[in-house]
A = this chain, B = another copy of it.
Amino acid sequence: MYRETYLQIPGPTNIPKPILDALSSKAINHRGDEYAALMEFNVKHLKKVFKTKNDILIFPSSGSGGLEASIVNTLSPGDKVVAINMGVFSKRYGEIATSFGAEVTWINQEWGSALNPNRLKDVLSKDFKNEIKAILLTHNETSTGVTNDLHALIRVVRELNHPALIFVDAVSSLAITDLPTDLLDIDIVVTGSQKGLMLPGGLSLISVSKRAWEAHNNASMPKWYWNFTPMLERMKVGQMPYTPVISHFFALKASLEIIENEGLENIYNRHKQNADAIRNALEELGLKLLVSDNKYSSNAVTAVYLPDDINYEDLSKVLEDDFNVIIGGGLQQLSGKIFRVGHLGNLHKPEVIAIVTSIEISLKKLGYNVTLGTAAKAASRVFLNN
């Protein structure tokens, strides 16, 4: 028996066939012309996806490596930064900064809610000497399914004329939710290969503004592997300071071709529509979503409270055994309280219908009271009304 897998964790995503095929491209010389052309293509097209004219650097690492790179390249021990604790990954960004000796001012925001711009305003307003060097923002918090309003948050910084650099963790937002890097003048945007780009993990991709480069020149945190300077120098001549992940470079080209073919705005809209359909279906099933203010609902992942008397292990087991649908659980303080449905990447209407209905049947099998067909009906209504 062979069954299609529905990998509905919030990344890594299902990998489209052309990207899978590209992964098994034969090895090429990483100091040769073919490699240089491949990298040039990827950087050129990544700039469109990042919506930036800034430099793009690509590191062989997970997305978290890119977060670390952003810190150690631009800051010095003792530098003041603002970090947000609103979920596992926003907290991680601040923890990385702390590990390297930054002095972190934390804004604690309840997990499941978005960062309130006024809280950021309060912190910056008290920074009379403009000592805060960087603000670490998470565009989409993967552990809660909250998408921050970057426009509103960055407006606060600009209105105060605060000179802090703005860093954005876009690991689960790039090529999923609109992120106008240059329009918002974001200094560092970090993503990973395994979310909107639909590759396996293994690459972190970073855009670096002119101001971030200036900060880099004065940054004294120790670094070798992550050092931006040799990375940019080598990339400019079509190479890398160390061996690149060539398989992923072929796959990235395939991904960027798929993205260009669909068009970024269409991709954002498709994600929005799928997310709305999934949330509508889950709410029709009587489930409660973790994010109560749908203005901040993520287009990449939806976190759902587990119904009374149904635990995550049972639900995920039925979903996997009966439907080969793989969902994610709650992380850290949300463990055992929620389940998460990823809906990022190469997901379309038929899969959405299949997924929400699989959840419905699984819940019913576990004793949850629901009328069959409810989820499909609710999702279909969203598709028909768009």
Bound-complex Cα distance A341 to B25 (A) = 22
Q: Which of A7-15, A47-55, A127-135, A270-278 contacts its partner?
A: A7-15
Compute how far the CA of A234 lies from the CA of B23 in the bound complex, rounded to whole angstroms.
27
B31–A15 CB distance below 8 A: no
Bound: A101/B77 CA distance, A: 14
Q: Is A248 an interface residue (CB 8 A)?
A: yes
Q: Is the CB of B15 within 8 A of A30?
A: no
Q: Name 17 extra pairs, CB < 8 A, besides A5-B28, A100-B224, A221-B222.
A: A9-B30, A12-B30, A12-B243, A15-B26, A20-B26, A21-B24, A24-B24, A27-B200, A29-B326, A60-B60, A60-B62, A60-B65, A62-B225, A64-B241, A201-B245, A201-B246, A222-B222
Identical copies in the complex:
2
Known: A24-B23, A26-B15, A245-B245. Contact between A101 and B201, CB under 8 A? no
In the assembled complex, the Cα of A63 lies from the Cα of B244 at a distance in Å of: 10
Q: Which residues of B contact A242 (CB under 8 A)?
A: 62-65, 201
Q: In the complex the two chains form, is A95's CB within 8 Å of B224's CB?
A: yes
**Within 8 Å CB of A11, what residues of B?**
243
Interface centre among A63, A65, A192, A223 (most CB of B within 10 A): A65
Query: Given A61-B65, A202-B202, A221-B222 in contact, is the A192-B31 Cβ separation under 8 Å?
Result: no
3 closest pairs, A vs B, by CB? Answer: A201-B243, A202-B245, A64-B242
Residues of B within 8 A of A222 (CB): 99-101, 221-222
With CB as the reference atom, state the residue of chain B lying closest to A72: B222
Q: A12 near B246 (CB under 8 angstroms)?
A: yes
Instruction: Verify if A32 is at the interface (C-beta below 8 Å from B).
Output: yes
Size category of the A interface is 35 or more
Q: Which residues of B contact A101 (CB under 8 A)?
A: 222
Q: Is A299 an interface residue (CB 8 A)?
A: no
Question: What separation, in Å, do the CA atoms of A202 and B30 have in the docked complex?
Answer: 13
Q: Is A247 an interface residue (CB 8 A)?
A: yes
Report chain B residues within 8 Å CB of A28: 5, 7
> A246 — which chain B residues lie within 8 A by C-beta?
12, 200-201
B60 near A201 with CB under 8 A, answer yes
Q: Is A297 an interface residue (CB 8 A)?
A: no
Contacts of A326 in B (CB 8 A): 29, 32
**Which chain B residues lie closer than 8 Å to A145 at the CB level?**
none
CB contact under 8 A between A61 and B60, given known A23-B24, A99-B223, A222-B100:
yes
Instruction: Show 10 residue pairs from A and B whose CB-CB distance is below 8 angstroms, ordered by the A residue.
Output: A7-B28, A12-B30, A12-B246, A15-B27, A21-B24, A27-B200, A62-B244, A64-B224, A96-B224, A202-B245
